[in-house]
Structure 1
Amino acid sequence: MTRIPLRPLARLLRTHDRGENPDETEAENRRLRHEAMQDKARRRAEGRLALMACLFVLGFGVVGLRMGALASTDPVEPQSGIMSAQIASQRADITDRQGRVLATNLLTHSLYAHPHQMVDPVGAAEGLARIFPDLDGDKLLRDFTGSRKFMWIKRKMSPEQMQAVHDLGEPGLLFGPREMRVYPNGRVASHILGGSGFGNEGVSSAEVLGVAGVEKAFDGWLRDPANAGAPLQLSIDLGVQAAMEEVLASGMEVMNAKGSTGILMEIATGEILAMASLPDFDPNDRPRPLLKGDPSDSPLFNRAVQGQYELGSTFKIFPVAQALDLQIINPNSGINTTTPMRIGKYRINDFSNYGPQLSATDVIVKSSNVGTVRIAQMIGVDKQKDFLDKLGFFDPLPLEMVEAPTGKPLVPPRWPAVTAATVSFGHGLAASPLHLAAAYATIANGGRKVTPTLIHGRTRPEGEQVLSPRAAARAVDMLRQVVTRGTAKQAEVEGYEVAGKTGTADKPRPSGGYYDNKVVSTFASVFPASAPKYVMIVTLDEPSVTGPGGESRTAGATAAPVASAIIRRLAPLVGLEPVTGETLPVITPRFQPRVEPPADDGIERVAQTNDG
């Protein structure tokens, strides 16, 4: 607005010429100015009133529409929109293949303190130390009498402990509701499940996160509300898993072993029914990982998946099966087993002198190092590597566990002739027992590759045809004869046609070379041999058993009898009925073996290069 002067000079001059009073001109200008200001203020007030009226109409309209919408819908229970309330119920259960609960959630309470609200800090500290023996009463007293306004005391506790704390009557001790992860079966399948812990947490709730095993591998899926609480169904069978762990623990104690592994897997689907690693732990009270020393000394170490072992003579079936597939040999072909065998400056020996020649079948039955190396040399290094690669021995297995990538086999960086020789009988290449299970399952599956899985009922693409069905069947026949008349006689279970191979491998020293008195003994098997349905691996770490012939560490005397006990216990649990009589054809070797007691698998000691 343009401001009008009260005494404009031009108007005053005209007023003076007309003989009028200049004060009247000033009064008139003042009146006009005030009228203009009043008009402006009135328009501003009218605008504000109109805006307020519009807001009131809009507000009452929204309220009316909302009331109408609520009146026209069905009544429902109101739900909290607080984030912490949503966290408590987001994690789904984990079940076995039969729907039995392996992991679930349980409503519990946390305990926290407001020290500044305490009436008797000394009594509270002493009482909590009695209720929770793991708490330090002196430290609690220092915290309660210090400057802290808030402190956690227990993230979770039992109802009995909660009642005991309540009975203390201390107003500065407070409870917060939350859900915790519970494993009702304790140690059973602990390495598979892994365990869980708390993530973001408040006094009223806490976020449950997986820390290992399938709990961590499927953490996002288990917490996804879109799954509507559907459980994660694993392939393992709770009864079979518990039975395997029980028998394996007994066998480990009898054989004085440091650790042990057991795997039972369906051949047709690759589904793992049981997978045990001992020693184990309770996921309800998961221990802390070791910060130094050998990782395998920790109960958290999963030997079945993370263990990298030279698996000894269990590897011998691979070059023989490949040679059968390439039609280089047949089961009755004569193989030169003259010992010692020399490769450069290195010598390769057998456990016993088997004479100048064995049939290809007896190379497996008697576990001849020399015979196996001869067959591997017929195949050639490149084809040997390609076949082992197809069997999965060069890469981690795509198993649904976060630990699976850490179990990548230790493959020699170079592959000279001596490495090709030692790898053919299970030295120089270290792999996990689960890798071995997958490879044996592939042979027993008619040569079609099998990939292990822990998820039940998942449809997966058909595996690659690694081996011809005829060669695969002949390899299974050979493995059956290892049990009936070879190094694995103690693995026989009447009615279940066990076929398998023993393997005893010296343990390598961290500084290089091998221990003289420490081995890893393994028995890899399929059953029933006439129609293979299951593959089972049993591995014992540093076993030693004393028998009539003295101390023995060989797989034939340690892993094989333990495997026999496990099969005898588990076969009925998986619904496998015993059969009577042998249905497999007996292959008669072209060259008859020498008449002598069957040799045990032995400990293959071979000079190694830095590459092997």
Structure 2
Amino acid sequence: MTRTPLRPLARILAARRAGENPDAIERANLAARHEADRDEQRQRAEGRLLVLGIVFLCAFFMVGMKMSVLAASDPAEPRALASGAQIVAARADITDRNGRILATNLTTHSLYAQPPQMIDPERSAHELAAIFPDLDADKLVKLFTGKRKFIWIKRRISPEQQQAVFDIGDPGLLFGPREMRLYPNGHLAAHILGGAGFGREGVTSAELIGVAGIERAMDETLSDPGRGDVPLRLSLDLTVQAAVERVLAGGMRLMNAKGAAAILMDAQNGEILAMASLPDFDPNDRPRPLVKGDPAESPLFNRAVQGVYELGSTFKVFAAAQAIEERLVSRSTWIDTKGPLTWGRHRIHDLYDHGPALTVEDVIVESSNIGTARIAMMIGPERQQDFLGRLGLFSPTQVELIEAPGAKPLLPKTWSEIHAMTISYGHGMSASPLHLATAYASLLNGGHEVKPTLLIQEAPVRGRQVVSENTSQQMREFLRQVVQRGTATLAEVPGYRVAGKTGTADKPKPQGGYYEDKVIATFAGVFPADDPRYVLVVTLDEPVETSGSEPRRTAGWTAVPVAAEVIRRAAPLLGLAPGVEPSAVEGVTLARN
């Protein structure tokens, strides 16, 4: 804005010539200038008031909108924001293949104390000790009367306990919301589920984390907020799992065994429908791990996955399969079984005298150590290693359990010819029952490699070819003969055409050598034999069958009857109807389910 001079020279000179007072011009110009300044300030003030009015109007509008939202929403307890990272407590459910709940979350509360707010610490301490017998009243009194301002009392309490604490009436006893992991089936599938516990904790929430089993192995997936309400669906069948565990527990008691394991697997895609290890535990009240001694003595030890054992004669079928696959023998080739077989200072014996020779088929049926060792000598150590490696017997299984990577098979430091001979009949090499089930599935399902899994497979899975279909079929026929006329006759379940192999291995001593009266007894097989759908492995630790005049420990008397009962109970649950065995008699046909 251009400002007018107070005493413009031209007007001053004109006023003097006209005899006027020049000061009047200055006063008039000064008054005009003041008037213009006042107008400008008034306009500026009016603009500011307008802006301020608009701001207040927007603020009132936003407050009104917020009040409307709060009025329309459900009431909730306000919570202070923590400075640290947010604790996410939500965790996805775990279900079986049919959607039945195996693990879920339950809303509960924690209990803590703020001593400065307590009215009668001593009375409250004794009342709490009466509600929770594991608490010491004197220790609580010391804590409540000390200098601490916050004390955890219980990180998880039941609704009944919460009400009892509430009835104490002390304002310094407070509750924090919690979500706990609940396993509604108790001991069922305990080693598979593992368990969960609290990670990071706050007063108002706690993080749920997996501590073992599939809860730990799939922790990231189960804790993913992006999953929403989508549960983790396992391959287990809860009904079959319950039947297997019940039969295994009864068989373990009947055979006086100290431990037992069983695996029921889909022979085509490796899905595990049931896996049991005894003794077990309740994941709702998971016991503490052993800090010293043998881990296998703990109920937390998963014998089906973590236990690596010499599995005895169940390995003999691998030697026969490789020899037939590589055209070294045929099923009718005669093998020298005269004993003992001497190699250096080592002598290999058979449990019974099988005569001077057996066919390859009868070496398996009669379970001849000598015959199997001679087949292994034809194969040689290097080719044997390659074949067993292709069956997955040299590396940990890939099953979705946190314990699986640590269960690596125990192999000899040097794989000499004598090692090849003893390993051919299951001595000198240790593997887990899950390794054995996987190898049997790959060998007997038509020769396609399978990988064990606890997750449901949405699409068909077909692995690489490890043996030909012809070799696989012959091995099924061999193992069917083992059940019909060999060492596993007690495994016969009418209508289900069971095929399998027994294995009895002396149990090694911790300090070296073997016990004379302790064994690991195993049965591994498939059913139905002509169209294998399922693989079953049952292992008993130190079984003794005492119904006869002398104790019997071999798998044919211990593991086999238990396996037969598992099949008898589980097969109908799996939808397998009994069928009629193929027969040479005219007029009799094969009826398949």
Q: CA deviation at 1:284?
A: 0.5
Q: CA deviation at 1:68?
A: 11
2:493 matched to which residue of 1? 493
CA distance in 2, matches of 1:504, 1:352: 14
Amino acid at match of 2:550: G
C-alpha RMSD over aligned residues: 2.8
Contact 1:530 1:584 in 2 (8 A): no
Kindly tell me: are residues 113 and 466 of structure 1, through their superposed partners in 2, closer, same or farther at Cα, counting changes over 3 Å? same
1:427 matched to which residue of 2? 427
Q: Secondary structure of 1:211's match?
A: strand
Alignment of 1:79-228 (within 5 A): 87=87, 90-228=90-228
Could you tell me the percent identity over the aligned residues?
A: 58
Contact 2:192 2:275 in 1 (8 A): yes
CA distance in 2, matches of 1:544, 1:52: 98
Q: Secondary structure of 1:322's match?
A: helix
CA distance in 1, matches of 2:480, 2:57: 85
Contact 2:89 2:207 in 1 (8 A): no
Q: Secondary structure of 1:91's match?
A: coil
Contact 1:343 1:417 in 2 (8 A): no
Contact 2:87 2:201 in 1 (8 A): no
CA distance in 1, matches of 2:151, 2:179: 20
CA shift digits 1:138-197 (9 cap, x unpaired)? 322222222222111111111111111111222221111111110000010011001000
CA shift digits 1:65-89 (9 cap, x unpaired)? 9689989999974898977897465
Alignment of 1:279-428 (within 5 A): 279-428=279-428
2:10 matched to which residue of 1? none
CA distance in 2, matches of 1:409, 1:396: 7
CA distance in 1, matches of 2:344, 2:53: 100
Kindly tell me: are residues 335 and 169 of structure 1, through their superposed partners in 2, closer, same or farther at Cα, counting changes over 3 Å? same
Contact 2:269 2:461 in 1 (8 A): no
CA distance in 2, matches of 1:523, 1:109: 48
CA shift digits 1:19-77 (9 cap, x unpaired)? xxxxxxxxxxxxxxxxxxxxxxxxxx9xx999999996996697589689989999974
What TM-score, normalized by structure 1, do the two folds share?
0.83
Kindly tell me: are residues 215 and 517 of structure 1, through their superposed partners in 2, closer, same or farther at Cα, counting changes over 3 Å? same
CA distance in 1, matches of 2:372, 2:117: 78
1:450 aligns with 2:482: no
CA distance in 2, matches of 1:373, 1:338: 12
1:5 matched to which residue of 2? none
CA shift digits 1:447-476 (9 cap, x unpaired)? 111111000134475311000000010001
Alignment of 1:223-302 (within 5 A): 223-302=223-302
1:441 aligns with 2:441: yes
CA distance in 2, matches of 1:73, 1:113: 35
CA distance in 2, matches of 1:68, 1:141: 51
Q: CA deviation at 1:115?
A: 2.1
CA distance in 2, matches of 1:193, 1:125: 37
Q: CA deviation at 1:136?
A: 2.2
Q: Secondary structure of 2:546's match?
A: strand
Kindly tell me: are residues 57 and 482 of structure 1, through their superposed partners in 2, closer, same or farther at Cα, counting changes over 3 Å? farther
1:558 matched to which residue of 2? 558
CA shift digits 1:170-225 (9 cap, x unpaired)? 22211111111100000100110010000111111111011111111111111111
Shifted more, 316-325 versus 327-336: the winner is 327-336
Kindly tell me: are residues 143 and 357 of structure 1, through their superposed partners in 2, closer, same or farther at Cα, counting changes over 3 Å? same
Amino acid at match of 1:389: G
CA distance in 1, matches of 2:316, 2:81: 58
Kindly tell me: are residues 431 and 469 of structure 1, through their superposed partners in 2, closer, same or farther at Cα, counting changes over 3 Å? same
CA distance in 1, matches of 2:584, 2:86: 60
Contact 1:306 1:407 in 2 (8 A): yes
1:540 aligns with 2:525: no
Amino acid at match of 2:308: Q
Shifted more, 86-95 versus 96-105: the winner is 86-95
CA distance in 1, matches of 2:413, 2:59: 75
Q: Secondary structure of 1:320's match?
A: helix
Contact 1:530 1:583 in 2 (8 A): no
1:466 matched to which residue of 2? 466
CA distance in 1, matches of 2:462, 2:73: 49
Contact 2:444 2:472 in 1 (8 A): yes
What TM-score, normalized by structure 2, do the two folds share?
0.86
CA shift digits 1:258-286 (9 cap, x unpaired)? 11001001111210000000111111011
Tell me, which stretches of 5 or more residues in structure 1 are unaligned? 1-44, 586-612
Amino acid at match of 1:579: G
1:576 matched to which residue of 2? 576
Contact 1:443 1:476 in 2 (8 A): no
Contact 2:280 2:299 in 1 (8 A): yes
Alignment of 1:476-491 (within 5 A): 476-491=476-491
Kindly tell me: are residues 132 and 81 of structure 1, through their superposed partners in 2, closer, same or farther at Cα, counting changes over 3 Å? closer
CA distance in 2, matches of 1:514, 1:405: 27
**How many residue pairs get matched?**
540
Amino acid at match of 1:495: G
1:527 aligns with 2:561: no
Q: Secondary structure of 2:481's match?
A: helix
Q: CA deviation at 1:230?
A: 0.4
CA distance in 2, matches of 1:490, 1:412: 34
Contact 2:89 2:206 in 1 (8 A): no
Q: Secondary structure of 2:462's match?
A: coil
1:27 matched to which residue of 2? none
CA distance in 2, matches of 1:406, 1:444: 27
CA distance in 1, matches of 2:47, 2:360: 100
CA distance in 2, matches of 1:164, 1:508: 54
CA distance in 2, matches of 1:414, 1:584: 49
Shifted more, 178-187 versus 113-122: the winner is 113-122
Contact 1:88 1:179 in 2 (8 A): no
CA distance in 1, matches of 2:554, 2:484: 18
CA distance in 2, matches of 1:451, 1:150: 51
Kindly tell me: are residues 345 and 542 of structure 1, through their superposed partners in 2, closer, same or farther at Cα, counting changes over 3 Å? same
Amino acid at match of 1:161: Q
Amino acid at match of 2:445: N
Contact 1:411 1:428 in 2 (8 A): yes
Amino acid at match of 1:477: E
CA distance in 2, matches of 1:558, 1:50: 101
Q: Secondary structure of 1:292's match?
A: coil
CA distance in 2, matches of 1:329, 1:295: 43
Amino acid at match of 2:91: R
CA shift digits 1:354-396 (9 cap, x unpaired)? 1110011111111100000111111111111000000001111
CA distance in 2, matches of 1:241, 1:287: 22
1:16 matched to which residue of 2? none
Kindly tell me: are residues 360 and 149 of structure 1, through their superposed partners in 2, closer, same or farther at Cα, counting changes over 3 Å? same
Kindly tell me: are residues 181 and 51 of structure 1, through their superposed partners in 2, closer, same or farther at Cα, counting changes over 3 Å? farther
Q: CA deviation at 1:328?
A: 1.4
